[in-house]
Structure 1
Amino acid sequence: MTRAADLPEVSLRLLEIFAAMMRCTTTVETAEFLGISQPAVSAGLRQLENQLGFSLFERTGRRLTPTGEANDLFEEIRPLFGILRSFSTRARDIRSGRVGRLRVMATPPLGYSLGPRALQAFHVARPEVTISYDVRRLENVLDAIQTGQADIGLVLNAERLETVNSEIIQRSQMVVLMPEDDPLAEGAFVTAEELTGRQIVGIDQASQLGRLVAKGFAQGGGQYRPGIEVRYCQTASALVADGMGVTVTDPYSAEPYLDRGLVSRPFMPTLEVSASMLTRKGVPHSGLLLSFMEELRRQLNRSR
């Protein structure tokens, strides 16, 4: 059995010089190809021959002609450089965010509006990227980011988040979604008092946005008594589209229904909400994640 100590210690750099020399005809040409000096090429070939214990090239004038042994060795290592080229290409693609796996989680308002638009554009440009996408409640998104189960979270919130990195990408305000022939649609905005006594589809007050709406009615002097209460703003918007009243919702959830006989007007008093990107604290952003974050900003700029 051949012992490891009996094998020549050949470095990858020496093999690279050898392979380049097999493709070129002179040490000068090889040096130009590798971007090193001609003496470095000559020294590398001599070192490789010393380690192997036999000659690889015969000098013919100014050219070096490969020996039979050199040709045999070159055929052995040819696949290696194909692997190295693939490795370099893969590393470049990873660095530029063109391959890999991206895990995205969002709350419903952004999960059914901004998220799909950004993912569609992102996936067209990077078809080799594997994407995991899920729409959950805020507490589920926060937990996934904190534990590393998701790379990025897209949330609509009105409260400060301390346990994750949070970047606000757009500020907006809650709106009243109603039929376009509703008398309140004639105004530039709708107040809490004007909604008192109306059939309101409300948001579950156990949620952040539900608490925000209830607070707005209290501040505006209106009575908040929803006849129907749902968990998500999207559900409330869908019920309004089916003629079940009006709702105070976020503009992202209202948007898909604005071409279906409904209109939206700002709710007064102003209830501000922020679209934010969440990432895990203490974890550097990958090239893939940075590319997706840029696509999110691009989509928001287009919609303004």
Structure 2
Amino acid sequence: MTLRQLEILRALVLHRTTVAAAQDLGLSQPAISNALKAMETQAGFALFERVNNRLHPTPEGMTLFRESEAIFSLHARLEGRLRDLRDSRSGQLRIVATPPVASGIIPPALKQLLHTRPRLQVFFDVRRFEGVVEAVLSHVAELGFVLGFSGQPGLGSEVLHAGEMVCVCPPGHPLSQLSEVSPADLTDYPLIGLERGTRLGDALRRSFHSVDVTFRPSVEVRYCNTACTLAASGVGVAIVDPFSAHQGDNRQLAIRPFRPVTPVKAHVLWSEARPLSRTCQTFIREVRQAARTDGLLD
């Protein structure tokens, strides 16, 4: 017995007339009647008894109906799974990011993604730059988010935000009265610097050098998030990326443009060995939207 025949049997059991079954399946009434005759001939026994123009399944017919329910339940689950995949509502997403991006625009983007796709399972890790690149290349993560990516074989990338380093200090600090801050303006205050050898730390040193000001931090840290925390506590002032400056815990910091302009770009990375899934594409759009909401994109 074919799946189509089982579908007709099921409709007849549920509706008890060939007319109603035909309407349910979008077939003609004669097609249903002919199919029933063919099924009974093939089975070698009656599937229904006809009483007062209604069909009553025989015990054998009901046995086939009950046994076929598992098939239709599986089919319904498969149809639901297909809809979920089409709408990217379920499945998995593995992402990894460096701390500035992880603490800045990833959380609101994830919140929005999971609001519309509650059955989606997300794996999210925070690593240093080299760890993010390795995770994407080795397919541990589908998407990676970093600052200052300059290209690497095997990785596709896209700029999510092109911004500039900014100065952060407590509200009421003398530097908060300036429209923009230069290295010369920082010489009279304790400076929280980024470590030498990090992308942003080296970029910051080049900016100081370009205007003949010595880069002399009172405290050195690896991450901009740490620098923001120390600045908010009054330890000193810091030059950080715009993601770290605008993250939720730092809303009370005074943020001023830093000159000379020190560019910083946020990239999303993926392996060129595999195509981006619909879920990945959707999440990238959510990250862009989160950046706009935070005022990081125009």
Q: Which residue of 2 aligns with 1:4?
A: none
Whole-angstrom distance in 2 between the partners of 1:274 and 1:43: 69
- Percent identity between matched residues is 37
The Cα offsets for residues 208-242 of structure 1, whole Å up to 9 and x where unpaired, read as 21222122222233222223221111111112222
Whole-angstrom distance in 1 between the partners of 2:184 and 2:76: 69
Whole-angstrom distance in 2 between the partners of 1:156 and 1:41: 64
Matched, 1:208 2:199: yes
Residue ranges of structure 1 left out of the alignment (5+ in a row) = 1-9
2:213 to 212, 216, 222: 222
1:201, 1:240 within 8 Å by CA — same for their partners in 2? Answer: yes
1:269 to 260, 263, 268: 260
Residue ranges of structure 2 left out of the alignment (5+ in a row) = none
Whole-angstrom distance in 1 between the partners of 2:202 and 2:237: 17
Decide which moves more: 267-276 or 158-167: 158-167
User: How much has 1:65 moved relative to structure 2?
Assistant: 4.5
Task: Check 1:179–1:161 CA distance in 2 against 1; reply closer, same or farther (3 A cut).
Answer: farther
Number of residue-to-residue matches in the alignment: 294
Q: Which residue of 2 aligns with 1:115?
A: 106
Q: Which residue of 1 aligns with 2:184?
A: 193
Task: Check 1:198–1:159 CA distance in 2 against 1; reply closer, same or farther (3 A cut).
Answer: farther
Matched, 1:290 2:277: no
2:228, 2:250 within 8 Å by CA — same for their partners in 1? Answer: no
User: How much has 1:60 moved relative to structure 2?
Assistant: 6.2
Decide which moves more: 291-300 or 31-40: 31-40
CA RMSD of aligned residues (A): 2.6
User: How much has 1:161 moved relative to structure 2?
Assistant: 4.9
Whole-angstrom distance in 2 between the partners of 1:47 and 1:225: 91
SS at match of 2:162: strand
Whole-angstrom distance in 2 between the partners of 1:38 and 1:206: 79
Matched, 1:174 2:180: no
1:97, 1:290 within 8 Å by CA — same for their partners in 2? Answer: no
Q: Which residue of 1 aligns with 2:132?
A: 141
SS at match of 1:112: helix
1:214, 1:224 within 8 Å by CA — same for their partners in 2? Answer: yes
Q: Which residue of 1 aligns with 2:227?
A: 236
Whole-angstrom distance in 2 between the partners of 1:41 and 1:209: 73
Whole-angstrom distance in 2 between the partners of 1:27 and 1:165: 58
Q: Which residue of 1 aligns with 2:291?
A: 300
The code of the aligned residue for 2:275 comes to: P
Q: Which residue of 2 aligns with 1:3?
A: none
Whole-angstrom distance in 1 between the partners of 2:35 and 2:188: 89
Whole-angstrom distance in 1 between the partners of 2:27 and 2:279: 33
How does 1:91-106 map onto structure 2 within 5 Å?
Answer: 91-106=82-97
Whole-angstrom distance in 1 between the partners of 2:195 and 2:219: 10
Whole-angstrom distance in 2 between the partners of 1:40 and 1:196: 90
1:237, 1:257 within 8 Å by CA — same for their partners in 2? Answer: no
Name the TM-score, length of structure 1 as normaliser: 0.85
The Cα offsets for residues 191-212 of structure 1, whole Å up to 9 and x where unpaired, read as 2333346432111222221222
How does 1:13-162 map onto structure 2 within 5 Å?
Answer: 13-38=4-29, 40-42=31-33, 44-58=35-49, 64-157=55-148, 159-162=150-153
The code of the aligned residue for 1:159 comes to: S
Whole-angstrom distance in 2 between the partners of 1:72 and 1:60: 20
Decide which moves more: 53-62 or 287-296: 53-62
Task: Check 1:286–1:18 CA distance in 2 against 1; reply closer, same or farther (3 A cut).
Answer: farther
Decide which moves more: 78-87 or 49-58: 49-58
Decide which moves more: 105-114 or 212-221: 212-221
1:177, 1:240 within 8 Å by CA — same for their partners in 2? Answer: yes
SS at match of 2:160: strand
1:177, 1:247 within 8 Å by CA — same for their partners in 2? Answer: yes
2:142, 2:270 within 8 Å by CA — same for their partners in 1? Answer: yes
The code of the aligned residue for 1:249 comes to: V
SS at match of 1:221: coil
1:154, 1:277 within 8 Å by CA — same for their partners in 2? Answer: yes
Name the TM-score, length of structure 2 as normaliser: 0.86
